[in-house]
Amino acid sequence: MSLRFRDLSGPVLAVTLAALALYGCSREGTPGTQAQAPAEAPADAGVINIYSARHYQSDEDLYQAFTDATGIRVQRIEGKDDALIERILQEGDASPADILFTVDAGRLWRAEQAGIFQAVSSPILEERIPPQLRHPEGKWFGFSTRARIIYYDKTRIEPGAITRYEDLADPRWQGELCIRSGGNIYNLSLMASLIEAHGLEAAEEWARGVVANFARDPQGGDTDQIRAVAAGECGIALANTYYFARLMKSDDPADQAVVERVGWVFPNQDERGTHVNISGAGIVANAPNAAGALRFLEFLASPEAQTLFARGNNEYPVVEGAALDNPALETLGEFKVDPVDATVYGENQAEAQRALDRAGWK
């Protein structure tokens, strides 16, 4: 029997743990195996338990490749970021979690602030993961990146008319912008980076200009913003690269029509570079199998795993020299990356949210 959990906390968590104890089941990354629920299983050097907020089917290849390379099986609980953090906190010292695997440095920062992670010393990780993409004490590491870039309707916006994030606030684009909500973690991290680059006052003024240029109230996810541009609902949108790459690789004629109409811009190439965020992981403070967990993190920094991130979910590798093996990413092209330390996205997060709220970014 196999279960998949999402948003488990409070009374729901208690019921779920009871159900796990009754049925003795878990979700495993290795097909054809069966084990007790992580919450009931003793520490086992041959198994690691991952609490993952990554919901990508392509990650099955990552888990299977790790098992093939090491013989260590992967069991995982899947859910949303905040729910998984709360679950680990409620489980306390008895938590079976070895690893928390999530997206966005802002969420990794939240988990670190809650005391979820332990410090890790690994020459492999320190050599391969750039310093700005990992916690200074080794509490979490970024293993892939995604760029947050500008998309535009090629039938109504001239190429080169918009080249910077700052341009989104230009009054000339009044009524042209489709962007997600101000509470979305991707936008919070972008705002945090702008606070770092320009200071709070200037960043908040930028947010007010962006709100004044909304074509509609924020709604939907990143792909919805891109589709809205193609549908003529707005001329400009902001979204992560891997969403557009999915459309580029799709066989659906409707998706191909979107790609045909929409152009893209990697912002701020003549200045600090384009904002990127990470997907990353850390070892839980009371991990039952910390040694196996470290082997998993080191595997994620291997050339094989880095290429799987790119091939499977259209994310950019963080290890220098790792192959993309992804025509969509190659078509998007190379770009200059903003070298700001990713810890800034967490440190400035609360201030970013307050500034977006004051600016009226719903």
CA distances to 5, 8, 187 from 49, rounded to whole Å, are: 14, 16, 30
Distance, CA of 229 to CA of 242 (rounded, Å) = 17
Band of residue 10 on the pLDDT scale cut at 50, 70, 90: very low
Band of residue 44 on the pLDDT scale cut at 50, 70, 90: confident
Domains within the chain, CATH numbers bracketed: 10-144+277-323 (3.40.190.10), 146-274+335-358 (3.40.190.10)
- Given a cut of 80, whether residue 33 has pLDDT beyond it is no
* Nearest partner of 148 among 218, 216, 222, judged by Cα: 222
Q: What type of residue is 73?
A: R
Q: Which two tokens stand for residue 354?
A: 């307050």
Distance, CA of 286 to CA of 337 (rounded, Å) = 35
% residues pLDDT > 90 (the chain): 86
Band of residue 246 on the pLDDT scale cut at 50, 70, 90: very high
State residue 86's pLDDT score. 97
* Nearest partner of 276 among 135, 123, 103, 112, judged by Cα: 103
- Given a cut of 50, whether residue 26 has pLDDT beyond it is no
Would you mind telling me the total number of residues written for the chain in this entry? 362
State residue 90's pLDDT score. 97
How do residues 290-299 score in pLDDT, each as one tens digit?
Answer: 999 999 999 9
Of 44-58, 87-101, 181-195, 324-338, which range is least confident? 44-58
How do residues 256-275 score in pLDDT, each as one tens digit?
Answer: 999 999 999 999 999 999 99
- Given a cut of 70, whether residue 42 has pLDDT beyond it is no
State residue 100's pLDDT score. 98
Mean pLDDT over 118-143 rounds to: 98
Distance, CA of 349 to CA of 188 (rounded, Å) = 6
The continuous run of DSSP H or E covering 177 comes out as strand 177-178
- Given a cut of 70, whether residue 359 has pLDDT beyond it is yes
Contact in structure between 4 and 80 (CB atoms under 8 Å): no
- Given a cut of 90, whether residue 41 has pLDDT beyond it is no
State residue 45's pLDDT score. 85
Distance, CA of 200 to CA of 192 (rounded, Å) = 9
88 or 7: which leads in pLDDT: 88
Q: Is the whole-model pTM more than 0.85? A: yes
Backbone angles phi, psi at 112, to 5 degrees: -65, -40
How do residues 115-130 score in pLDDT, each as one tens digit?
Answer: 999 999 999 999 999 9
Contact in structure between 81 and 56 (CB atoms under 8 Å): no
Band of residue 43 on the pLDDT scale cut at 50, 70, 90: low
